[in-house]
Amino acid sequence: MKPLVVEKAQAEKWLEELCRVFDVFCPVKVKGDLYQWGRLGKKGLPRIPEGVPKTTIKTFFFPQPEVLFEFGARPGLKDAFRLKEPVCEKRPRLLFGVRPCDARSVVLNSMPYEEDPYFQKNRDETTMVGFLCKDGCSTCFCTWTGGSPLGMEGMDLAVVELEDGALFLEPITEKGLGLLEFDFFREPTEEEEVFVKGLREKVNKDAEETSSRLRSKGLMDLYNAPFWQEVSDACINCGTCTFLCPTCYCFDIQDETLRGKGRRIRYWDSCMFPLFTQHASGHNPRGDKLKRVRNRFMHKLKYFPDRFGPVSCVGCGRCVRDCPVNIDIRQVLARMLEV
């Protein structure tokens, strides 16, 4: 599919057209350098910050909370326990300004959620316009985990911001191509093609094959490695790392009932919380902190790659940036690779 270019002024009109069809979301400034995903507010092109916003796009695919179904449980009535899909009238969604690591997280989450109709429906109803990265931040490490600042996995349309504010657009899927059915675009000039090619050449192609190195490690060697005590000592099990992580997808299910009717709801949960694994008997197989911290890293960096191939981390750096006690997954990864 051929790339096209849209000038800055025309891009604003293009986005206005897209808003007629889609609910458009983008990184929204909260204060200072703090951005979160939210609905596109004022007119004009939003500023897409370097690096990733504080929150992730997983909330669009794995909402917090998500009603799975509703039920009527009034005894004595014919329709007692009849199940009903929740009615939710919404327009298709467009995510504008997704960074490559976050777009890739949706591809990774689709692996365990392949059979999950809720996740897959949300994915079908969402179109992703990704913005490729020219500069990352100090906590980004996507190339360690199989990604790239110019990676396009998971995107429908990839955007490179040119020096003068124009946008270089590469459609990747039919959905992405559909976004370009307007008269706002022109063919790229030779200089623009050279500029984008130059960016691609700058990306480190010698990134380590981390996942295959981890797959070759013995499971029990990593599980019994001596460093887990030290890694877990500082952790306060706050769950910040898992709630901010685009590739953490643990959940809890609860039924809420009121006057004979109810709904079953899926909420985000975290393997860092003691109750997450507590059985009804009171036994807890991950009852102490070391076991929970070890599980978080082993799941991402050993169990997931053993089962699906890639590591379940896209190197966005959110957990590094926001852990209150400075636990850094890059240091843990380095220690796991030494075993």
CA distance 91 to 19: 10
**Contact call for residue 317 and ligand SF4 (CB under 6 A):** yes
Q: Which is nearer to ligand SF4, 185 or 304 (CB)?
A: 304
From residue 223 to residue 242, the character string flagging contacts with ligand SF4 as x (rule: CB under 6 A) and all else as - is ------------xxxxxxx-
**Which residues between 269 and 288 bind ligand SF4 (CB under 6 A)?**
272
Q: Which residue has the tokens 């946008």?
A: 167
**Contact call for residue 59 and ligand SF4 (CB under 6 A):** no
**Contact call for residue 157 and ligand SF4 (CB under 6 A):** no
**Contact call for residue 53 and ligand SF4 (CB under 6 A):** no
CA distance 215 to 82: 46
Helix ranges, 70-181 (H): 100-110, 117-124, 174-178
Selected binder of ligand SF4 within 155, 313, 332, 336 (CB under 6 A): 313
Q: Which is nearer to ligand SF4, 130 or 315 (CB)?
A: 315
Whether cis (ω within 30° of 0) applies to the bond prior to 86 is no
**Contact call for residue 247 and ligand SF4 (CB under 6 A):** yes
Q: Give the DSSP H or E segment for 319.
A: helix 318-322
Q: 71: Cβ–Cβ under 8 A, 6 or more apart, which residues?
A: 81, 82, 83, 84, 261, 262, 263, 264
Q: Which stretch binds ligand SF4 (CB under 6 A): 79-87, 207-215, 257-265, 318-326?
A: 318-326
DSSP labels, 20-35: HHSEEEEEEEEETTEE
The least CB distance from residue 321 to ligand SF4, in Å, is 9
CA distance 288 to 4: 55
Q: Which is nearer to ligand SF4, 45 or 333 (CB)?
A: 333
Residues at the site binding ligand SF4, with contacts judged by CB under 6 A: 235-241, 244-247, 272, 300, 313-319, 323-325, 327, 329
